[in-house]
Amino acid sequence: MNNFIFNIFNMKNSIYNQPMIRSRLMCVCAVLTLLWLPTRAPAAELVVVEQVGCEWCEAWDAEVGIVYSKTVEGRIAPLRRVDIHDPLPHNLQFIRGLVFTPTFVLVDGGREIGRISGYPGEDFFWGLLQRLIAKMGDENELKTRTGSAIKEPSKTPKKAGIRG
């Protein structure tokens, strides 16, 4: 292909040798080259490993999945769905030991940060995910990525109030 393009630009007495056509052809080649270059994936992703008919996957979709992309967590680690029965994509080959669905694997920079096996319910899911995201880096780095920060959840339990 490169020889073909090289020959087009060096042909004498050719229609491609006229300045106007030559510059347009160079622009087309440049655009095609940019389209063929791989796009850069987000640095972090939340990979959800699921399967058809998984009751807990459906529960997660109904409770969390519909709002996930609109949350701070969703901006930090966009969702990527993978079927457990399909081969892992090339850039996720480092993930090992996928047995249960759903499994949520937080990946960043080509490495696994941590995972949540199963779906423990909406309230527990958000807390567990925030702990995984907190492992990715400091608050300033997360703020730079999203415009807001996620702090690691407090380890001290809140006192229950008395209702009257």
Mapping DSSP to helix (H, G, I), strand (E, B) and coil, where does residue 43 land?
coil
pTM for the predicted model, two decimal places: 0.62
Q: Identify the domain containing residue 80 by its residue range.
A: 44-146
Report the chain's C-alpha Rg in angstroms.
24
Helix %, strand %, coil % of the chain (to 5): 45, 15, 40
Question: What CATH number corresponds to the domain at position 103?
Answer: 3.40.30.10
Residue 125 lies in a domain: yes
- H helix count then E strand count, the chain: 6, 4
Q: Are residues 74 and 22 in the same domain?
A: no
Q: Are residues 7 and 83 in the same domain?
A: no
> What's the rounded Cα separation, in Å, for the pair 14 and 90?
44
Q: Are residues 32 and 89 in the same domain?
A: no
Residue 162 lies in a domain: no
Q: Are residues 13 and 57 in the same domain?
A: no
Mapping DSSP to helix (H, G, I), strand (E, B) and coil, where does residue 70 land?
helix
According to DSSP, the residues that pair with 83 across neighbouring strands are 50
Domain count, the chain: 2
Span 8-40, pLDDT tens digits: 555 555 555 566 666 666 666 565 555 555 444
Which residue in the block uniquely carries the two structure tokens 């020959």? 7
Q: Are residues 14 and 65 in the same domain?
A: no
Using alpha carbons, list the distances in angstroms from residue 90 to 76, 86, 95: 22, 12, 10
Q: Are residues 92 and 116 in the same domain?
A: yes
Span 104-121, pLDDT tens digits: 999 998 999 999 999 999
Query: So what's the pLDDT on residue 11?
Result: 54
98 φ/ψ angles, rounded to the nearest 5 degrees: -85, 110
Which two tokens mark 132? 């995984």
